[in-house]
Homo-oligomer: A and B are copies of this chain.
Amino acid sequence: MREFRPVATRRAFEEIASQIRGRLARQALRAGDRLPPERELAGQFHVSRNTLREALRSLEIAGLLELRKGATGGAFIKEGGGDAAVAGLADLYHLGTIKPEHLTEARIVIGTEVARLACARRTKEDLAALEANVTAAEDATRRGDVVQRAHVNYEFHRLLARAARNPVLTVITDALMEMTRHFVESVGYMPNRYVMPSRRRLLQHLRAKDGEGAALEMESMLKRLQRFHLARAGDAGKPRIRS
Contacting residue for A88 out of B21, B82, B152, B242, CB 8 A: B82
Asked if B58 and A95 make an inter-chain contact with CB atoms under 8 angstroms apart, the answer reads: no
Taken together as a complex, chains A and B put the C-alpha atoms of A92 and B50 apart, in Å, by: 27
- Residues in B neighbouring A53, C-beta threshold 8 A: 54
Contacting residue for A82 out of B84, B97, B148, B172, CB 8 A: B97
Main secondary structure on chain A at its contact with chain B? helix
Q: Can you list, as one digit per residue, whether each of A11-38 has a CB less than 8 Å from chain B (1) or not (0)? A: 0010000000100111100010000000
Q: Can you list, as one digit per residue, whether each of A101-115 has a CB less than 8 Å from chain B (1) or not (0)? A: 011011001100100
- Residues in B neighbouring A151, C-beta threshold 8 A: 1
Asked if B168 and A240 make an inter-chain contact with CB atoms under 8 angstroms apart, the answer reads: no
Q: Which size class do A's interface residues fall under? A: 35 or more
Q: Which residues of A pack against B, CB within 8 Å?
A: 1, 13, 21, 24-27, 31, 50, 53-54, 57-58, 60-64, 80-82, 84-89, 91-92, 94-98, 102-103, 105-106, 109-110, 113, 117, 148, 151-152, 155, 166-169, 171-172, 175-176, 239-242
16 A-B contacts (beta carbon < 8 Å): A1-B151, A21-B94, A24-B95, A25-B94, A27-B241, A50-B50, A54-B54, A57-B58, A80-B91, A80-B92, A82-B92, A85-B88, A86-B88, A89-B171, A92-B167, A109-B110
